[in-house]
Structure 1
Amino acid sequence: MSEQEKNLRWYNLAMMAFVSVWGFGNVVNNFANQGLTVVVSWVLIIGLYFVPYALMVGELGSVFKDSKGGVSSWIRGTFGTTLAYFAGWTYWVVHIPYLAQKPQAALIALGWTVKQDGNFIKGMDPLMAQLLTLAVFLFFLWVASRGVTSLKMIGTIAGTSVFVMSLLYVVLMLAAPSIRGIESATVDFSIKNMMPNFNFSYFTTLSMLVFAVGGAEKISPYVNDMKKPSKDFPKGMITLAIMVAVSALLGSIAMAMMFDANNIPSDLKMNGQYYAFQMLGEYYGVGKLFIVIYALANFLAQISALVFSIDAPLKVLLADGDRKFIPKALTKTNKYGAPINGYIMTAILVGILIIVPALGIGDMNSLFDWLLQLNSVVMPMRYLWVFLAFIGLKKAADRYKSDYKFVKNDKFAMGIGIWCFAFTAFACIMGMFPSGVETFSGDWWFQVSLNVITPFVLIGLGFILPMIAKKTNGNSGDTVKSKDIA
């Protein structure tokens, strides 16, 4: 790329990253978990975790500027092909709980769009609701298998609308007391009331915070499109951190003004975003306008994300996989170019994860909260590979050159990488213990069991594919050609 083409500025990067990393659900879910103490938690997580994480991603993207496989390519460059396969497998398999919840979220959004209340699936028998969820998933799996791409554009528009309305909510809610005379639901905003109690219960909520600020690796390729990577990239990431911090802090305060932080509704994670816009419409005298617009936009965004997440992570796994790890049968495509056997594997895993929990979790609100918590445990596991790649990069620092370095001292940089790895692992482990559920009750033990078993099973399945590949692929060790599964 010529110097003339390197025209991405720090503020462009910050805005691109902000849109891809942040969402209103991050504010709602963490406020539901922690109440007003989440304000201090946001400050800590952004300063001690998110900023170094984003800056590490920039250095990895700069070093491996020609790689197309993202995290798996970084691991291949630092630790070899075997761990690179497991990095690619992890990136794909952690989307299974995500895919199991997206149809749920879409049905909830549809219910609010049509009826403007949260009872569409909330009051259903869990098994019936999950069978409906499975039907929705299988339908959109079929849509994805036919190469339908128009939903991506619709989803981009809808997602942008959701994002803009989320920012609008914060502004209008903060202004509501002075403009509309609304009284704050939470009375005490003192520093004492915002300080977390660093106990076992608090640590079980960390994974949701990590889940909220993760995903910065998506922007790593853009570091090489910048005019001055060494100066502009960190400036862009610091700006991103400030934007996330402001949005998180003001959003949490706005939520506390609308909902009593000491008496949080039990279904706030499931319906909190919709309650927020429903009440905002009442405050400003526009009736159901806000809730209908938000619910419709969110429904379309959820459907688009479902289709995209069925297809894209699977293609990343297969396109960048080594044939000694990926069975040739998985790369088989239909006439639309979709890896059909990979889709079948996805359908089986997601189907199990949709149905089995419904057999032991008594109501849909608890089931929704559990699946969201499971996502916060499983999704951050892919960030572990980012930090491992960075540690490997620092161990062999003399072999690599970069236009941008996170920290000049390689040993200090490695120490920060180890800290981020250890903190992520700790958050994932603690997230396995459900908060908001009576400790040691039957429901608590059932959820803990699923939270422990699911990650081990999903990652463990990654050991099976190489065994199948060894029997079915012959002696070929060639990388799967991306054109085969494009």
Structure 2
Amino acid sequence: MDSLDETGKRKYISWPVIALMDFVTVIGFDDIIYNFQNQGLAVVSDWVLLLVLFVIPYEMMVGHLGSVFAKEGGGLSSWIRHTSGDKMGYITAWCYWVVSLPYLVDVANSTVISFAWLFKGRALDDNEMSNWVFALFTALIFVAFIFFQHKFANSLQWLSIIGGGAMFVMTILFVIMTFAYLGEGRSVATQPFHFKNFLPTFDMKFMMSLGLLIFAMNGSEFVAPYVNEMKNGPRDFPKAMYMLAAMTGFLTIFGSFSLGVFFNAHKLPDDLKMNGSYYAFKAMGDKFGMGNFFLYAFIITQALYMLAQLAVLVDGGARIFLSDTAKQYLPKQLTKVDKNGLPINGYWLTTFICSVLLFLSSTLPTVNDIFNQLLNLN
């Protein structure tokens, strides 16, 4: 269903907005935290390799396919359906949707963590919230999001503009402050801070971490279902991919370098995967004598970013699964759309399955274990 403005004219999505919608699904500050913990300073070189060998070719292919099938509404499922037949299109759509579900739970968990930081100003203690309460809050995030999406048209685009834009600005700020810190001749947390420590070691640990590196940088095809909502998709969709590749490269390479300045890569907190992004901005504020200013700026940014990511993942995944697969493979109720053209029953099915995953994970000992286990599952 087309989105119309007050004058009855169709509202198109511009390519910078598409790029920001994609940015929130592809990469974030948390992604560089995970991999910094696994590989230390060497991850900077790994990001460079992956940018050249994977990200740029991958996003150029997505840009090309999106421009070729610019009138289709199912993104990846449309591409496969038109090149390999209805059955393969359906199988692709179903598999893509299913494997995204654990990540959706992970994102919803991270949203709860961001709100906990906002209200408490510190990491959540396991004694303050049981696993079951944590699971309940996460489920409520899903339900609140669906009602919000159903009630407000174009909320997905606005969340992406604000959340994605703010996250990239905060990354730029983090990098600028890092170089200002080094310019003052202050000490670096990771020692030794030599060139050879940035070089990758092609051992078993690197190979085992490669999957997480690729996982952190993929997802650009999530916005392909929106190419038919652009005024000139064949021309402008590839531009969004170019912008996305540049933003991804900046955040991963310079962001990881900056982490090595403020964190000792050889001695990292156990809960770095869950709270590392917040620790990074708190450390920056402490180094510059600005208290929690940077921390709270990032907390608000992270909350908006996570909500935007949740919006794109639920909506984009549902569109890939339901919008352009052969109807004979799907129950009729699943393909129903609301007044805004959203596959609302697909939303509810996604929420139900994610809630099951969430409550099963609540049997783990601590909230930190839940967070890490879901990340490992992804």
TM-score, with length taken from structure 1: 0.65
Distance 1:17 1:53 in 2: 17
Q: How does 1:116-127 map to 2 (within 5 A)?
A: 116-119=121-124, 124-127=129-132
Which residue number corresponds to residue 366 of structure 2? 363
1:319 aligns with 2:329: no
- C-alpha deviation, 1:173, in angstroms: 1.5
Please name the residue that 1:157 is paired with. 162
What is the aligned partner in structure 1 of residue 34 from structure 2? 29
Task: Give the whole-Å Cα distance in 2 for the aligned partners of 1:218 and 1:347.
Answer: 18
Match for residue 91 of structure 2?
A: 86
Question: Structure 1 stretches of 5 or more lacking a match?
Answer: 1-10, 376-486
Identity %: 34
Matches within 5 A, 1:12-161: 19=23, 21-119=26-124, 124-144=129-149, 146-149=150-153, 151-152=155-156, 153-161=158-166
Q: Is the 8 A contact 1:318 1:331 kept in 2?
A: yes
* Cα separation, 2, equivalents of 1:67 and 1:333: 16
**Contact kept in structure 2, 1:123 and 1:364, CA below 8 Å:** no
Q: Which amino acid aligns with 2:219?
A: G
- Structure 1 position 291 matched with structure 2 position 284: no
Equivalences for residues 214-225 of structure 1 within 5 A:
214-217=218-221, 221=227, 224-225=234-235
Q: Of 250, 273, 279, which residue of structure 1 is paired with 2:254?
A: 250
* Alpha-carbon offset, residue 208 of structure 1: 1.8
1:201 aligns with 2:205: yes
User: Residue 306 of structure 2 aligns with which residue?
Assistant: 302
Preserved contact between residue 222 and residue 317 of structure 2 (Cα < 8 Å): no
- Cα 1:54–1:223 change in 2 (3 A) is farther
Question: How many residue pairs get matched?
Answer: 357
**1:350 alignment counterpart:** 354
**Displacement of 1:122 after TM fit?**
8.1
Mapping of residues 366-385 of structure 1, within 5 Å: 366-375=369-378
Aligned mates of 1:329, 1:304 — CA distance in 2: 26
- Indicate the larger mover: 250-259 or 312-321: 312-321
Deviates more, 1:214-223 or 1:183-192: 214-223
SS in 1 for 2:87: helix
Q: Establish whether residue 166 from structure 1 lines up as the match of residue 171 from structure 2.
A: yes
Deviations 1:49-84 (A, max 9, x none): 222212322332344344332211211122111111
Q: Contact 2:222–2:313 (CA<8 Å) still a contact in 1?
A: no
Q: Is the 8 A contact 1:17 1:219 kept in 2?
A: yes
1:186 aligns with 2:193: no
Secondary structure of 2:327's match?
coil
Amino acid at match of 2:197: N
CA 1:235–1:290: 2 relative to 1, 3 Å: closer
The C-alpha deviation readout for 1:443-469, integer Å capped at 9, x for no partner, is xxxxxxxxxxxxxxxxxxxxxxxxxxx
Matched, 1:278 2:282: yes
**Equivalents in 1 of 2:155, 2:125: separation in Å?**
24
* SS of residue matched to 1:182: coil
Per the TM alignment, residue 134 of structure 1 is displaced from its structure 2 partner at its CA by 2.4
Gaps of 5+ in 2: 1-14
Please state how far the C-alpha of 1:219 moved relative to its aligned partner. 6.8
Cα separation, 2, equivalents of 1:330 and 1:121? 38
TM (norm. structure 2) is: 0.82
* Aligned-partner Cα distance in 1 for 2:30–2:94: 27
* TM-aligned CA deviation for residue 13 of structure 1: 11
CA distance in 1 between counterparts of 2:104 and 2:344 reads 17
Residue equivalent to 2:10: none
Partners of 1:26 and 1:212 within 8 A in 2: yes
> Counterpart of 2:362 in 1: which secondary structure?
helix
Tell whether the 8 Å contact from 1:36 to 1:252 is kept in structure 2 after alignment.
Answer: yes
How far apart in 2 are the matches of 1:292 and 1:208?
28
Aligned-partner SS, 2:107: helix
Give the counterpart letter for 2:151 in structure 1: G
* Matches of 2:300 and 2:293, distance apart in 1: 11
Cα deviation, residue 137, structure 1: 2.7
**Contact 1:35/1:264 (CA < 8 Å) preserved in 2?**
no
Spell out the pairing of 1:406-485 with structure 2 (5 A cutoff).
Answer: none
For residues 207 and 131 of structure 1, do their structure 2 counterparts lie closer, same or farther at Cα, with a shift above 3 Å needed? same
TM-superposed deviation, 1:354: 0.3
Q: What's the offset of the Cα at 1:259? A: 0.6
Measured at CA, do residues 109 and 194 of structure 1 come closer, stay the same or move farther in structure 2, by a change above 3 Å?
same
From the superposition, tell whether residues 186 and 157 of structure 1 become closer, same or farther in structure 2 (CA, over 3 Å): same
What secondary structure sits across from 2:321 in the alignment?
helix
Higher Rg of the two aligned structures: 1
